[in-house]
Structure 1
Amino acid sequence: MTLDAAYSNTGAVPNAASYPEAWEEAAFETRSVEQAFGRARLNIPYGDGARQKFDLFLPAGRAEGIVVFIHGGYWMKFDHSFWSHLAKGAQERGWAVAIPGYTLAPEARISDITGEIGQAISAAAGYVNGPIVLTGHSAGGHLVARMAMADAPLSPDISARLQRIVPISPVSDLRPLMQTAMNDTLKLDAAEAKAESPALHPKSLDVPVSVWVGADELPAFLDQADWLRQAWNAPVTRAAGKHHFNVIDPLADPDSDLIADLLRA
């Protein structure tokens, strides 16, 4: 038995193919505006890899802290340029927002990507003082949850600045993906799947974690959110009327419940 259909969001969301183009257009418009106002720093390198870059969006005044958003795409798709518009919610609330890219599978294993995200968070945090909030979507939700585990690739100084982690539609247990065709690219084995699964390990950092997932998502993603809730005693919000591709839209709205949860001290 394979689990391809269980984890195929493109097969479950109406007009799924239209979303990447819409994200790319909205992100381009946001970058153009923010550059014109002098509030965007683009393609800042955090490593030597071609995809190891992040964009930084600054608020109008002094930053309250920094939010780092990690994108999804099953560790295989997209780059940091698709998501700039999602910075607007936190930015308008006075926070800086960093959006990094990372090396994609199969060039990098998921364990390698975890290390890159640690580098990206550390580099971005060097530009802004104050607390750090982490959020990410789907594979990005996995990656930000991964930062709360005992072997997270963060220094004690960076870990001490973490104020909140909000995984959105995270993949918290990677073992089911070994039964999908994606694993031809991801190349997960049992040891890596277990080691990289937040739901299979205790949360080691004393930092609040809250999980969001669309109420209209595939059962597999509702389960993945619930597994993290059970493992970490983390509250889960099932966002009404949201599926896997639009559950992140409220990040662009400074008055949304998602932004309120994200920036809660």
Structure 2
Amino acid sequence: MIDYEAEYNNRARVPEHPAIIEGWARDAAAYRESAKAEFDRPYGLAPRLHYDLFHPQTPADDARAIVVFIHGGYWQALDGKHFSHMARGLNAQGFTVCIPSYDLCPQVRIGDIVAEIRDLARYLWENYRKPVVACGHSAGGHLVAALLTTDWGAMHLPKRLAPAGMAISGLFDLLPLVGTSINTALRMDLKEAIAQSPLAMGTPYGTKLIASVGSEESAEYLRQSRVIVDIWGRGGVGTKLRIEDGANHFTVIAPLADPESSMVADLANLARLAG
């Protein structure tokens, strides 16, 4: 019997998480001070529906997409301001990075958040005429996968508006969360958990997905990434699995702030090929 409460309780698994989260906020504030950026641009009417746009000092000639970083927090915590420094690596490689916030559970449901991130992608296309390559952590990884499954053509938008993404420690099968304390704020029943699982949303043939996960994460997090790479890969998605050696659920995103990291190189390559 799998103890899903233990498998998905990342804060209990990483006792030093408060210091890591404090470090995120500190590094993010420092990067906002030095970055070439536009802050708090609205993409919807609700107070949390805004984004910061971080521009490179020198745009890359082959930067054909806007990269969006979607934060985690189990759809119920944090905001984009904690992660401004996640733009540093890609900015140094010449790419513009959008970091949004979104509404949180229990004020909304997970499906509402999925709709908000889809609205953000549409808004970016309408305003900048560039496709979106999404990168997200934890719950943000779930939102990346949901974004790739979107039928943009049905919205009279380019079919490949969101052609590629990187899901870091993503959640693609939400059923295991239903019986855990995490679901107190999410309020999912089994039907909703299935409906909001990217693995049940259909395989987005022709897109690309990199699933990245820390080697020190729980067996369930490792399973989640392996399963989507396997199933989507067999369904015509260009998939790749990255196991980040020595990384836990909180340290796994650190390479995004390093312009020379292989994670940034992989994400930049997705953005170069998106046009």
TM-score normalised to structure 2 length: 0.89
Letter in 2 for 1:26: D
2:267 counterpart of 1:262: yes
> For residues 197-226 of structure 1, what are the alpha-carbon distances to aligned partners after superposition, in whole Å with 9 as ceiling and x for unaligned?
112343224211111001111111011111
Report the AA paired with residue 93 of structure 1: Q
Contact 2:43 2:120 in 1 (8 A): yes
User: Normalization by structure 1: what TM-score?
Assistant: 0.92
Q: 1:144 to 1:152 in 2, by over 3 A?
A: farther
2:85 counterpart SS class: helix
Q: Distance in 2 between matches of 1:194 and 1:111?
A: 11
Instruction: Decide whether aligned partners of structure 1 residues 88 and 164 sit closer, same or farther in structure 2, where only a CA change above 3 A counts.
Output: same
Map residues 18-97 of structure 1 onto 2, 5 A cutoff: 18-34=19-35, 39-62=36-59, 64=63, 65-97=65-97
Change (3 A) 1:154 1:162: farther
The residue type paired with residue 199 of structure 1 is: L
CA distance in 2: counterparts of 1:109 and 1:152, whole angstroms = 22
Unaligned runs of 5+ in 1: none
Change (3 A) 1:247 1:159: farther
The more displaced of 159-168 and 94-103 is 159-168
Structure 1 stretch displaced more, 58-67 or 91-100? 58-67
Amino acid at match of 2:181: A
CA distance in structure 2 between the aligned counterparts of 1:159 and 1:73, rounded to whole angstroms:
30
For the residue of structure 2 that corresponds to 1:213, the secondary structure is strand
Looking at structure 1, the residues matched to 267 and 163 of structure 2 have their Cα atoms a distance apart, in angstroms, of 9
Query: How many Å separate the matches in 2 of 1:67 and 1:125?
Result: 12
Flag the 1:200–1:161 CA change in 2: closer, same or farther, 3 A.
Answer: closer
Which structure 1 residue ranges, 4+ long, deviate > 4 Å from structure 2?
A: 150-156
Percent identity for Structure 1 against Structure 2: 37
- Report the counterpart of residue 236 of structure 2 in structure 1: none
User: SS of the residue aligned with 1:246?
Assistant: coil
Over the aligned positions, Cα root-mean-square deviation in angstroms equals 1.9
